[in-house]
Amino acid sequence: MERKEPAWVKTVSLSPPSLKDNTADADRLTDALKSQLNAERIILDLDLLRSLPDLVRKWNYQVRCVLLKNRKHWELIHLTHPRDPAKLLGLAVDLGTSRIVLHLVDLTTGNTLAESSFNNPQLSIGPDILERIHYADQENGLTRLNQLIIESLNQEIEKICDSGNCHASDILLIAAAGNTTMTHLFMGLKPYWIIREPYIPVVNRPDLLKATKLGIEVHPLARTFIFPNVGSYFGGDLIAGILFSGMHKTTQTAMLVDVGTNAEVVLGNANWLIACAGAAGPALEGGVTQMGMMAGPGVIDRFAIAPDTSNFEFHTISGTKPIGICGSGLIDLAAQLFLAGMIDSRGKLVPAMCGSRIKEKTGLPYFVVVPAKDSATGTDLTISQADLDSLVRSKAAMYTILETITTSVGISMHDLKNFYVAGTFGSFIRPESAITIGMLPDLPVASYKGLGNSSIGGATMVLTSAEYLKEVDNIRDQVTYFELNVNQEFMNRFSAAKFLPHTNATLFPSVHVWQNRNRRD
């Protein structure tokens, strides 16, 4: 990540007052900062004003300042001696529906000092956003949801600061990215209208808020930047993701896909950005199969069938016996079963090829991926025909969304030089597998770039420079939200995509090559 100016920490040397220049202390300081930052206006908190005259004299008119940009003006929130050893910290927060991720950043150097994450305690209210929105409508529901997130965040801040050998009160800037509902719950804003036509958030572009106002226990003057949203279904986490990818700064058109509960897709370049979201996720996240689960210890994230021995080879995240499979493992599995001929182009199990691994329960066939003796659970880890059907529908939905959005702006998916895949999913997915099942287009494998958690990535970036904050606003203004219209044309594309890799095999020439190689081996 490139470090940009202006950073949030500035050291200024003031010319001492004289009879010829009897400008007041505060105005002397802000004038000096204004010319250094080329800023029009700098606001000082009253608390700082009260300590200022003694400090500037004690420090002999050398002052290190922490200033935050609040769109058009700057806010001066902290003063130290230029050689004060205390750290000046920022905290990036990814407000995930399931998991909250924190990065503790040194504002002076821009370096990340510590990372941590914890389960979103709102999971106890409801695992998905919809349940939480309904809960928020109950008496004290919103307050409770808000408290859950704020209190757990305060506890985690204590921990991460302990681990980084610093203090919560050294945190001066928080940057938080989340989907629109999560940021609403974080601010204690009613999410009621987000899910009701015409789907209106309370706010698109929150102002810089005092952290204490949100109940966050950090420096009393710390500010919180909350990533803006484009609407109810395109949140600040995606804006952070775009920032992190850098796709908004190049002339080459790129695609960004974030697979979560929904598949969220952004297409664009420095001149335009178009986004859409659609239901494609659950199966891809491993959410629907018996053995599916989120990435974690004991979870299969990579899977292969040895072409010579037909042995099943897999890798679990912790290296231990498997307890289940995550999205990337599942896509590997489906791709490998397809290349091995164990499922056909409709995604149906081929009994002749599956041998004893195929079983039947109440008339429905299922497939043993890991027999009981090799699993950590002591039971077979299986995938049913219904799971496979669901996976095929999901991958078809994903491909259709990608095809629809590219077609809408008259470009071909095959012309994309950069295809960013965000999220945990994106970090683990093997593009070959996703191409094999026809979920992602048949681009050179090097075009695919896993971004990891791009939401925390973007949030961490804004802690390093005011320039990124401006970029965030520009991205927010540039994104056009494209309403996916599930019409006949969409359904036609969807039907064509419900084959492995696709009805039109010429779209996936690589898959043909891989199939032949598999057969040859």
**239 or 383: whose CB is closer to a copy of itself?**
239
Closest CA to 346 of 476, 188, 461, 497: 497
**13 or 15: whose CB is closer to a copy of itself?**
15
CB of 35 to a copy of itself, least distance (A): 16
DSSP 394-441: HHHHHHHHHHHHHHHTT--GGG-SEEEEEHHHHHH--HHHHHHTTSS-
Distance in angstroms between the alpha carbons of the first and the last residue of the chain:
42
Look at strands 358-361 and 171-178 and give their pairing. Answer: unpaired
DSSP 300-337: EEEEEE-TTT--EEEEETTSS--SEE-HHHHHHHHHHH
What is the binding site for a copy of itself (CB under 8 A)? Answer: 17-19, 21-27, 40-41, 43-44, 46, 49-50, 52-54, 71-73, 187-190, 192-193, 197-207, 209, 213-214, 229, 231-232
Look at strands 381-384 and 364-370 and give their pairing. Answer: antiparallel
CB of 78 to a copy of itself, least distance (A): 16
Instruction: Report cis status (omega within 30 of 0) of the bond before 501.
Output: yes
CB of 153 to a copy of itself, least distance (A): 17
**233 or 314: whose CB is closer to a copy of itself?**
233
Can you name the residues that pair with 63 across neighbouring β-strands? 12
**99 or 144: whose CB is closer to a copy of itself?**
144
CA distance 133 to 424: 25
Looking at 209-341, which runs of residues are DSSP E strands?
A: 209-210, 223-226, 254-259, 263-268, 273-278, 299-305, 312-316, 324-325
CB of 189 to a copy of itself, least distance (A): 6
**9 or 187: whose CB is closer to a copy of itself?**
187
**248 or 476: whose CB is closer to a copy of itself?**
476
CB of 107 to a copy of itself, least distance (A): 23
CB of 25 to a copy of itself, least distance (A): 5
Distance from the Cα of residue 163 to its chain's centroid = 24
**27 or 158: whose CB is closer to a copy of itself?**
27
CA distance 289 to 376: 17
CB of 311 to a copy of itself, least distance (A): 53
